[in-house]
């Protein structure tokens, strides 16, 4: 029943509609987590059955669900037709909420317009940027917690950080 609802949402996503970059980025991060989970499962001699990746790697479903959730549909109402899925969501959400910072769960205000976001991004990029483009050790954003993944030489980066 829930699968049919998800299929309906997936079919509503029209080709040619502009995709949200934040959603695409989050989906990509989720895919990486899923891949690492599958590697761990294989390393442990597959104690869990492998999921059907054709259902899990559906970008059009993700973008459709995000659009639907942004237009006032709550997760609970979306999952209400399948009590097991709703219960699983609530258990996972409550387990996650106890470890996440409280400010993540505060209601969000209206988002800024694209121009304001782009302007803020370009100014924050220039503030957070360290060094020059030819200086490969520090061209990441300071606010990016994955920024160190972009550093080519970690030892050199650590030495520079200690000097500062």
pLDDT digits (tens, 9 = 90+) for 36-59: 999 999 999 999 998 888 777 777
The yes-or-no verdict on residue 74 having pLDDT over 80 is no
3-state secondary structure 130-163: CCCCCCCCCCCCCCCCCHHHHCCCHHHHHHHHHH
pTM over 0.85: no
Residues 29, 33, 39, 40, Cα dihedral to 10°: 160
């Amino acid at each position: 029943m829930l699968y049919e609802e998800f299929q309906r949402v997936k079919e509503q996503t029209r080709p040619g509609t502009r995709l949200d970059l934040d959603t695409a980025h989050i989906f990509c991060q989720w895919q990486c987590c899923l891949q690492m989970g599958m590697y761990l499962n294989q390393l442990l001699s597959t104690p869990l059955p492998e999921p059907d990746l054709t259902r899990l790697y559906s970008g059009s479903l993700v973008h459709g669900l995000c659009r639907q959730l942004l237009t006032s549909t709550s997760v609970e109402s979306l999952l209400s037709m399948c009590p097991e899925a709703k219960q699983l969501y609530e258990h996972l959400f409550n387990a996650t909420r106890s470890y996440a910072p409280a400010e993540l769960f505060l209601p969000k205000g209206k988002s800024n317009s694209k121009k304001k976001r782009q302007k803020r991004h370009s100014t924050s990029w220039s503030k957070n940027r360290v060094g020059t483009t030819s200086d490969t050790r520090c061209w990441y954003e300071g606010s990016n917690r994955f920024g160190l993944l972009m550093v080519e030489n970690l030892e050199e980066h650590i030495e520079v950080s200690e000097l500062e």
